[in-house]
Each structure stands twice: as structure tokens, then as C-alpha cells.
Amino acid sequence: MLIDSHVNLHAPQFDDDRQAVIDRARAAGIDLMVNICDRVTNFAACRALADQPDIWCTVGTHPHEAKDEPELSPQALIDLAADPRVVGIGECGLDFHYDLSPRDLQARVFRTHIAAARATGLPLVVHTREADAVMADILETEFAAGPFRLLMHCYTSGADLARRCAALGAWFSVSGIATFKAAQDVRDVIGGMPGERIIVETDCPYLAPVPYRGRRNEPAYVPHVLAKLAEVRGWSLAEAETRTTDAFFALFDRIPRP
């Protein structure tokens, strides 16, 4: 199966042609998509698209938006995650590149999501940028307090964080960044990821892969990401598809496998 594990189809960039984008994805053979929540106050818009049988969703608040939901509680996330179309907690985490929310608040809201992931058993969808040491420390401390499953989404951080996350049983998703000419460091890390725990994504409308770089990204472009993953890992395209499909359903196990 071809699966886009991270889309933002409710984003305003798709307001003019959202259904056409979804139709193109289906025409390109994309079997499943997971629509990722950017903030809890926007959950209804994210969830509305998950009424379709091939689209699921998550619930959570991105670190950029943590400043707008400082009192978010684990219970609020747990309650929304009772919806059977919700298959993950997040996107959440730390972003010390843009620092659009105070770092201490990012960390607090991130721990809130971890508590919800632990309570629900749903995978945690983690965003991390320029926060490797703090991210590793939080994940290891929280994991010691009680295990949870996690996905390091669109992984472009360092090899040490990847190693520490892999030791916690983390999954990793590969995005169009892997196709960028200047991203050899990213490809080097992909080469060392646990082969049974890698999935693919577009993160659309962002990060369009080569040959679409610079344009709005769409789920229909995920085959280019899969092809680059196969190249980096030395897998055939069929093997890459099988491996990423198996890894996806092992992680997002609320979704019934056809």
C-alpha cells in the first residue's frame, strides 16, 4: 500500500481545491492518509476530513501553537482521542528554531501530550527541530515513568537523538527533505534507522520532494519520497512499500489493515 502518514489537508493552502487534491492522491494510488492536528482548538476542522474511509486524523497542538493553549490538559486530549477516527496524539514537541512559543511552555505542553499518549495507548507524533538534547532528555525521562509509543515525524535531527529514540522503540518518518540535494546528512541518518520502523510522509502542503520542490506539496507526491527511501536503504521499491506499510500498521494500530 501507499500511505501518506502526515498530511495537513485542512490547511488554508488547500481551501481553493481541497477535493481535487484528495482526488489526485487517490488517482496516484495513495490508499490511506493521516490528517494531522495543528492545535486542539482547530481539531474540528482536522476531524471533519476524517469522515472519509481513507482519511484518519490525530489530535494535538504543535509547539508553535503551545502559547495559545498553555492550560491544555491530558484529559482534554484523552476525551477527544475517544473518537474512533483519531489514531494518534500530536503533532507535538519542541521547535527551538522558530521559538514561536516560550521553550518552557513548549516542554510543558509536550509532556501533556506524552501523558495522553501513555493513557490512550495511541502513538505520539513528535515534531523536533534544533532541540535534540532537550528532546532526548524529556523522552527518556517520561519513558522511564511509563512507556508510550512514539513517531519522530519528518526526522531531520541528528544521529545521536535518532539513536536515543530508537532505543525507546521509536518509529521514524521520512519526508521530501530526503530528496533535497543538500540533505546528505539527513540521508545518512536514514541509513541507520531501524528498518522495521520507518514510514513515509509528505507533510503537505510543505516540503515538496524533488522534482516538485518549491511548489505546494500534495499526498500524490509521496511515491517520490518512497523511491528515495528505497534508494538510500538499498531496497527495491516493492520492498520499501511492503516495509513501510507493515511499519505503519504496527504503529497506527487503531486503523484496521485491509
**Domains, the chain, with CATH or none:** 2-251 (3.20.20.140)
Residue-wise pLDDT for 73-121, tens only, equals 999 999 999 999 999 999 999 999 999 999 999 999 999 999 999 999 9
User: What is the spatial distance between Cα 230 and Cα 236, in angstroms, rounded to a whole number?
Assistant: 6
Average of pLDDT values for 3-23? 98
Instruction: For residue 181, give the C-alpha cell.
Output: 540535494
The amino acid that residue 106 corresponds to is: Q
pLDDT at 233: 98
Residue-wise pLDDT for 195-209, tens only, equals 999 999 999 999 999
Beta strands in 96-227 (DSSP E): 124-129, 150-152, 171-174, 198-200
DSSP three-state, residue 107: helix
Q: What percent of the chain has pLDDT over 70?
A: 100
pLDDT at 157: 98
Q: Say if residues 7 and 32 touch (Cβ distance below 8 Å).
A: no
pTM: 0.98
